[in-house]
Amino acid sequence: MTLTIAFPDDKREALEHFLDETGGKIEDCLAESMEDWYRKTVPVGVRKYLDAKWEKECGAPPEPLKAPAPEPEGSTDAPSWEG
């Protein structure tokens, strides 16, 4: 899936400049942010369902992009594939 957003060119160029200094990429930062948003917003039961569906279709659950974000309030379980 591709997402398109409006963002001022001068801000994007500045962001790319400073990310280049650390070897970062805008796409990676956005993907990590989306993963955080997903984990903070989508209830754990839905994430478990989607992980099981992914595993059935692809043979393994998707790997998190980085350390998981805190669970949504009231959520007690984490998907079993996470450490």
Buried b (16+ CB within 10 A) or exposed e, 29-68: eeebeebbeebeeeebeebbeebeeeeeeeeebeebeeeb
Interval 12-61: pLDDT, tens: 999 999 999 999 999 999 999 999 999 999 999 999 999 899 888 888 77
pTM assigned to the model: 0.62
Q: Is the pLDDT of residue 71 over 50?
A: yes
Query: Quick one: pLDDT at residue 44?
Result: 95
Q: Which ranges constitute the DSSP H helices of 1-83? A: 9-22, 26-41, 44-58
